[in-house]
Structure 1
Amino acid sequence: MHAGSRCVESDVRGKHKWHPWTVDENARLRRLATGYENRSIDWLAIGGELGKSSIACRVKYHQNQELGIADPSQGHVDATNQEVQRQLSQGHQIDWAQVSQAVGLDVLKCLEICQVDNGKARWTFDPNTFSWEMADWMKAFIADNYPAPATPNFRAASNYMWINRDDCIHMSNLLQGNIVWTDEIKARVVDMRSKGMQFKDIGKQLSPNLSAAKVVAMYHGLQQPPHSRLSPETKRLVRAFVDENAERCTYHELLQLAKVQF
């Protein structure tokens, strides 16, 4: 085995041990490094995640890039799609281990590149039927395969759960307490509020994790003209938000959080 497939680590006695890179470690290395996108890659943090030195991780990543290991070929994509289609045509639940064996890539890579979408279920939020079981399933998959700061691959999550990709993205945002205030949703909030519904209950109708404070802020924003002074209630919410976050955030971070919150 050539030197590029091994890395050097120092043990507590100052000696060096040679540890071969496994297929899974190569895949995790690529996911962690690409998760930084345009930011400077923190090789020390990646080394800590993988239990290897920062130098070994950086060298191995660039070696993989040069060898073309980082990205699958179109042939791999086609082979993955064909194997998945074959299993679906036989009425089988997709066996990703079998797909991996047929294609010659690790399971996660097959999940990331599979482009087959036929027969996928839809996943929309319904407060009357919502179950945390599916939500926890997706959260566990992302946490196991795309630990922060890596960016989750929702194509992989979609294929793993066999659920529409856009629905996975939408539900992930809702689970984080984020919501896009469309005109339709704003109208629903106004309607529910006019019927005497509490803000916390309105939030539960829109998302499993939407705080009452966000609903209140949006609602009061609708009740006053643009550029008007803040209402006493909104002022109270802003003060509470600043008091809660001022100690742990920089000024810039606090402004960004406030934009999301209010």
Structure 2
Amino acid sequence: MIDGSVMDTAAKWEQVSKVLGRSVTACKWRFKILHHSRKHIQATVDSQSLVTSEVQRQRESSSDVDWSQVCQATGLGMRECLELSQYDVGKASWHYDPDSFSQSMADCMAGFIKEHYLASTPVNYRAVSNFMWVTMEDYFKWTESEYERAAALRARGLTFKEAARHLSPTLTGPIVCSALNRYSLPNPAQEPISLDKLEEVNGLVDEYAGKHPVVEIMDKIRTQLNLGDRRNYYSLLALRIAAHPHYKAKIRDIDYNDLSIRIAMGQATKKQAAKDLDIPYYVLDRRLRDLNSRQFSSRWTEEETLKLLDYVQIGDSTPDIAYFSKLLGTKSSKQCCRKIDLIRSKGILPRLAKTR
């Protein structure tokens, strides 16, 4: 192993270059990544051991853990301590009974997640487990059987809110509704719209543009032309509205970079942004997707690489690469994933949780 203290002269770098058969620049770059990765991993291991020891000490001396004291003893933040602690002795199982459970416990969990994890940040259930002091395997996960169970509850006439209560205290009505929409089969293929009806659509767009919100315009057109439910011809109507000069100017003037970052940080949602801007959601969603897939420089700078290493190695939750890509602003999520795979293939980065 090469010690960083000796790698300070051009002659020594030349020697290393000859031994390895690589350029001096390549050797220096490889050394920086290795040094940074090892230093970061060692720091994480040390912090994990420190936090776990303090939690164990508190549990053995009293029944509860005072996480504020853990923070003071370790010099780390609350969320970091909760994510790092590996001490699980004495944790209770969450036995969920929809007829007798206490809502306060569910509210406590939901409040913790909302406070410490943005909408775009994957929840670290190690932290939730430590905060609630319950076993990690008791959290609700959507499986085929759970989808079928939710559908059966709805078939019995229960509302989405009631069905959510029967499934898990961590679920809400809108979450169950969204899950069942994903689970249900798509509509049969719709017939192409006729040219005459297309002209009618354009005429109605001209008539309603700027006078009603976009959502109402789409509903009015669908009702007047008898186009069926809201999913029928959804993209066609959205694109026709977006092509109107009134909305084309709005769409052109949006700062998509700023909006994308605000969405990634949980400060906005696509649906709310589309409503506030009064443009079709379908069009805004496509623009943001195009923005995220745009081409960036293929060359990685040292700063970009080290930021990526820092982000991937923090905690043990699944890294949200799409979120990191938006914050970085100079590389797409695909480029970030390829870079991680490349670094891992060289044995520099340990194989942590899969990226998404």
TM-score by length of structure 1 reads 0.47
Tell me which structure has the larger Cα radius of gyration: 2
Higher relative contact order (CA 8 A, sep 6+): 2
